Structure 1
Amino acid sequence: MRLYRITFTMSDGSQGHHEDKYEDAFAAVARARRLFPDAVCIDVEAA
């Protein structure tokens, strides 16, 4: 498990951030897509 920082942008331009441990970046993106299905951009980086 590794710590990842997720930044997501919604269609109105607002942004949010989330940090948690995931198996890999793909798992982090998959969870972000489930939690924020209306996000227009999801950025994931190792923290």
Structure 2
Amino acid sequence: MSVRLMSRMRRKAAWSWVALTSPTRMAGVWGSAAVKGWRSAEFALL
């Protein structure tokens, strides 16, 4: 296996890992922000 092919495959694997993990990370960030906003709105209503 050539070095160029190895680096290309490694880069593709890194990109697929980023594509897989970033949506879940963003969902976690948005979920925590929504929970915080809901808690503050609930506190304001009470």
Larger Rg: 2
Fold match, TM over 0.5?
Answer: no
> Normalized against structure 1, the TM-score is what?
0.29
Q: Which has the higher helix share?
A: 2
> Normalized against structure 2, the TM-score is what?
0.30
Q: Which has the higher strand share?
A: 1
Higher relative contact order (CA 8 A, sep 6+): 1
